[in-house]
Amino acid sequence: MEVLDQITNPYLPFWEYVPDGEPYLFDGRLYVYGSHDLFGGDVYCMGDYVCWSADPDDLGSWRYEGVIYRKSDDPENEDLQGNLYAPDVTVGPDGRYYLYYVLSNRDFVSVAVSDTPAGKYEFYGYVHYEDGARLGQREGDEPQFDPGVLTEGVETYLYTGFCPLDDKSRHGAMCTVLSSDMLTIKRDPVFVVPAKHNSTGTGFEDHAYFEAASIRKKDGLYYFIYSSEASRELCYATSIRPDGDFTYRGVLIDNGDIGIDTYKKAGMPGMYCANNHGSIICIDGRWYIFYHRHTNGTNYSRQGCFEKLEADGPVNFRQAALTSCAGVPFTARGFYPAYLACNLFTDTEGLMIPWCGWMDDRFPKITREVYNDDEPAGYIANMRDTARAGFKYFDCKDTKVVSVKIKGYATGKLEIRTEWDKEPLGSFPVEYSNVWRIVTGSVNIPDGINSIWITFSGEGYLQFAGFEIA
């Protein structure tokens, strides 16, 4: 079976970069809305909004819906200096689809509308008070950012906010109630989740609001999903009201796997990480968390991923661990690209990708080639001694790793394990190579559901494109 016929993380084709994912079921189909990064981008969200959709019964096959809204569609962005930051979508009382967003160089909320989930969306207006003043621009308003929206009846709840850790003028996530026209403010903003500097005694200590507001409803409770002061984690809080009294519940996902202790110590990074943004959705009775990961050694080429969530009582979820397969084990046959690695680290611990510039060249990174269409779409670059790539999970029976695809100025070996810190099951030799080469061999994998860890041991720096299982 070809790997791309299965559910993978990232779930979209490797060449696509849609972070900040907001998943919705509309008319029996799953749609994901997000911002749009570019490979090699030097700032966030350089692309126009695109949309992808899938049959909820086949989350391994995604359909490109095309560009649904362009930067040039906003009248305030004629010079194209504003990028389209993370959006959200809701169905209005009139049955139309409303897209809420904030431009990167503005502090107010823009709205576009469409008759269908995948657009094309047309500019509609700006969220404003009854006197016409835009939300975010009236004296005393805090700047608007990362809108999340939920419509109930004729009211729409708009959640916004961005709270840098050193800015005490920002007080947390805000909720503003809009009228049925989807633009006019019916009830002024109130703060629903605190920022770091005013979180003492609230229950949100160490997990206060940073950005990435999102809202869902489950079993009569409102679930507010957000990126915390740690940036890399998505947390959640619940309330019986949409506009207040939220109680902190926990972490849903951390794109460095901090907090997961099933294969490492809880505080040890399992992946290089940075900001995070996403939300939850229920598909056929099972809940998932959508989030994003970082590639190319920077903040600016992010890709969407998702994981299953497991309940921890009637209200809470357990923190989900990173996987390559959204928790549905791969059929252990075929070629698996290295870019599917859900874990990547070395003996030199590194957690956060720098906000600006490139990662330290001591560390490996997931990237891609752009100068040869015949070569792998994605690979792991700069694998130095002790670099480990983890792939989870495989349903193994009479399974062998029979080859690896590599190149680079490196000598040593690629060791195969099912646990990163155990003795290797076997290895493949690594020699200097200017072009991609297949190194064959045979390493037996135990029967059962297994991770596969591939570690470089040697000198130089290796480029790793993937491995084949038979």
Say how many C-beta atoms besides its own lie within 10 A of residue 95's C-beta.
7
**Region for residue 368 given its phi and psi (left: phi exceeds 0; alpha: psi -120 to 50; beta: otherwise):** beta
Q: What is the DSSP letter of 322?
A: P
Tokens coding 416? 């195969």
Q: Which of 88, 211, 233, 257 is catalytic?
A: 211
Please give the order of strands across the beta sheet that includes 302-308: 279-283, 286-294, 302-308
313 contacts: CB under 8 Å, gap ≥ 6:
none
Beta carbons of 402 and 444 less than 8 angstroms apart: no
Q: Is 357 helix (H, G, I), strand (E, B) or coil?
A: coil
In terms of DSSP bridges, do strands 122-126 and 110-114 run parallel, antiparallel, or are they unpaired?
A: antiparallel
20 classed as catalytic: yes
3-state SS, residue 71: helix
Count the residues in the chain. Answer: 470
**Closest to 159 in 3D by CA, of 211, 202, 208, 220:** 211
Question: How far apart (Å, rounded) are the C-alpha atoms in residues 317 and 301?
Answer: 29
CB burial readout 433-466, b (16+ within 10 A) else e: eeebeebeeebebeeeebbbbbbbebeebbbbbb
The yes-or-no answer on residue 181 being catalytic is no
What is the chain's Cα-based Rg?
23
Would you tell me how many other CB atoms lie within 10 Å of the CB of residue 237?
A: 22
State the catalytic residue, choosing from 16, 20, 254, 307: 20
Locate tokens 């084990």: which residue? 329
C-alpha dihedral, 210 to 212 to 213 to 219, nearest 10°: -110
Which of helix, strand or coil describes residue 123?
A: strand
| Euclidean distance between CA atoms 241 and 219, whole angstroms | 13
Pairing outcome for strands 330-331 and 388-396: parallel
Which tokens go with 234? Answer: 């998505």
- As annotated, the active-site residues are 20, 211
